[in-house]
A and B are shown apart, each in its own frame.
Chain A
Amino acid sequence: MDFSTGPDASAFRAEVREFLREHLTAAVHERMHDTGTMHDWGLHLGLAERGWIGAGWSAEEGGQGHSAFMVDALYQELAAAGAPTDGFSATMCIAETLRRIGTSFHREQIIKPILEGRLLIAMGYSEPGAGSDLISVRTSARRDGDMWVIDGQKAFTTLAHEAGYVLALTRTDPDVAPRNGLTVFLIPTDSPDFSLAPVATLGGERTNMTYYSEVRVSDEMRVGEIGGGWDVLSLALSFERGGEFAAQLRRLLDDSISWVRTNSDADAADAARVGRLAADAEVARVLGLRAAWSRDLPGAGAVEGVMAKVFATNRLLAAAGDVLDMLGSAGQVTDGVEIPGAQGIEHTYRHAQVTTIYGGTTEVLLGVIAEKRMGLPRSRAARGAPAPAAAER
Chain B
Amino acid sequence: MDLQLDNEQRGLRDTMEAFFAKESPADRVAEVAVDGIDRGLWRKMIALGGPGLAVDESQGGAGLGLLDAVLVCKEAGRRVACVPVAETISATRLLARLQGCADVLDDALDGRQTVILGIGQPQHGMLPHQPWGALADAVIVWDEDELVLVGGGPGAVIPSLGFTGLANWYLEANRRVLATGPEARAHWEQALAEWQLLTASVLTGTGLEALRIGCDYARERIAFGVQIGSFQALQQPLAESQTSLEGIELLVQETAWVDFDGDHWKRQSLMCFVAAGRAAVAAAERALHVHGGYGFTVEYAINLYVRRAKGLSLMLGDPQRLWTSIGQSLTQAV
Report which A residues bind B (CB closer than 8 A). Answer: 1-6, 69, 257, 260-261, 266, 268-276, 278-279, 282-284, 286-287, 289-290, 293-294, 307, 310-311, 314, 363, 366-367, 369-371, 373-382
B2: chain A residues at CB < 8 Å are 1-2, 293
Contact B254 A270 (CB under 8 A): no
A279: chain B residues at CB < 8 Å are 271, 274-275, 323, 326
B240 at the interface (CB under 8 A from A): yes
- Within the complex, the shortest CB–CB distance from B39 to chain A, in Å, comes to 34
Assuming A278-B327, A287-B247, is B4 touching A366 (CB within 8 A)? Answer: no
- Within the complex, the shortest CB–CB distance from A98 to chain B, in Å, comes to 28
Contact A367 B239 (CB under 8 A): yes
Question: Which of A275, A290, A381 makes the CB contact (< 8 A) with B326?
Answer: A275
Complex CA gap A293/B253 in Å reads: 15
- Within the complex, the shortest CB–CB distance from A216 to chain B, in Å, comes to 42
Complex CA gap A115/B87 in Å reads: 56
Count CB-based A-B contacts (< 8 Å).
161
Selected interface stretch from B28-36, B101-109, B189-197, B229-237: B229-237
Complex CA gap A388/B324 in Å reads: 38
A3: chain B residues at CB < 8 Å are 1, 3, 253-254, 257-258
- Dominant secondary structure of chain A at its interface with chain B: helix
Q: Which one of B67, B211, B239, B244 has the highest number of Cβ atoms from chain A below 10 Å of its Cβ?
A: B239
Contact B275 A272 (CB under 8 A): no
- Dominant secondary structure of chain B at its interface with chain A: helix
Nearest chain B residue, comparing its CB with the CB of A312 = B247
B235: chain A residues at CB < 8 Å are 366-367, 370-371, 374, 376, 379
Contact B243 A310 (CB under 8 A): yes
> 15 interchain pairs (CB within 8 A)?
A1-B6, A2-B2, A2-B3, A3-B1, A260-B327, A260-B331, A268-B321, A272-B327, A275-B324, A275-B330, A310-B240, A311-B244, A367-B239, A374-B211, A380-B230
B268 at the interface (CB under 8 A from A): yes
Contact bitstring B212-244, A, C-beta under 8 A = 1, else 0? 000100110000001101111001101110111
- In the A-B complex, the 4 residue pairs with the smallest Cβ-Cβ separation, listed nearest first, are A271-B327, A275-B326, A275-B327, A274-B327
- Within the complex, the shortest CB–CB distance from A342 to chain B, in Å, comes to 15
CB-CB contacts below 8 Å: B308-325 with A: 320-325
Q: Which one of A270, A286, A380 has the highest number of Cβ atoms from chain B below 10 Å of its Cβ?
A: A286
Complex CA gap A186/B251 in Å reads: 42
Complex CA gap A276/B218 in Å reads: 31
B67: chain A residues at CB < 8 Å are 1
B94: chain A residues at CB < 8 Å are none
Nearest chain A residue, comparing its CB with the CB of B256 = A1
Complex CA gap A275/B320 in Å reads: 9
A260: chain B residues at CB < 8 Å are 327, 331
B219: chain A residues at CB < 8 Å are 375-377
B160 at the interface (CB under 8 A from A): no
Given A307-B242, A373-B242; 7 other pairs, CB 8 A cutoff: A1-B2, A3-B257, A275-B274, A283-B244, A283-B250, A377-B230, A379-B231
Contact A369 B243 (CB under 8 A): yes
Contact A369 B242 (CB under 8 A): yes
Q: Which one of B9, B235, B238, B268 has the highest number of Cβ atoms from chain A below 10 Å of its Cβ?
A: B235
Q: Which one of B1, B4, B231 has the highest number of Cβ atoms from chain A below 10 Å of its Cβ?
A: B1
A274: chain B residues at CB < 8 Å are 326-327, 330-331
Complex CA gap A369/B331 in Å reads: 35
Complex CA gap A272/B326 in Å reads: 7
Question: Which of A2, A294, A374 makes the CB contact (< 8 A) with B215?
Answer: A374
Complex CA gap A287/B251 in Å reads: 9
Contact B239 A1 (CB under 8 A): no
- Within the complex, the shortest CB–CB distance from B67 to chain A, in Å, comes to 7
A69: chain B residues at CB < 8 Å are 1
A257: chain B residues at CB < 8 Å are 330-331
B177 at the interface (CB under 8 A from A): no
- Within the complex, the shortest CB–CB distance from B33 to chain A, in Å, comes to 27
Assuming A261-B331, A271-B331, is B326 touching A278 (CB within 8 A)? Answer: yes
Q: Which one of A271, A273, A294, A373 has the highest number of Cβ atoms from chain B below 10 Å of its Cβ?
A: A271
Nearest chain A residue, comparing its CB with the CB of B251 = A286
Question: Which of A4, A269, A294, A366 makes the CB contact (< 8 A) with B239?
Answer: A366
Complex CA gap A370/B250 in Å reads: 19
B328: chain A residues at CB < 8 Å are 268, 271, 275
Contact A370 B238 (CB under 8 A): yes
Contact B242 A363 (CB under 8 A): no
B248 at the interface (CB under 8 A from A): yes
Complex CA gap A378/B226 in Å reads: 11
Contact B327 A376 (CB under 8 A): no
Assuming A276-B323, A374-B238, A376-B235, is B247 touching A6 (CB within 8 A)? Answer: no
A294: chain B residues at CB < 8 Å are 3
Nearest chain A residue, comparing its CB with the CB of B218 = A376
Q: Which one of A261, A279, A366, A379 has the highest number of Cβ atoms from chain B below 10 Å of its Cβ?
A: A279
B226: chain A residues at CB < 8 Å are 377, 380
Q: Which one of A257, A311, A374, A380 has the highest number of Cβ atoms from chain B below 10 Å of its Cβ?
A: A374
A272: chain B residues at CB < 8 Å are 320-321, 323-324, 327
Complex CA gap A12/B218 in Å reads: 47
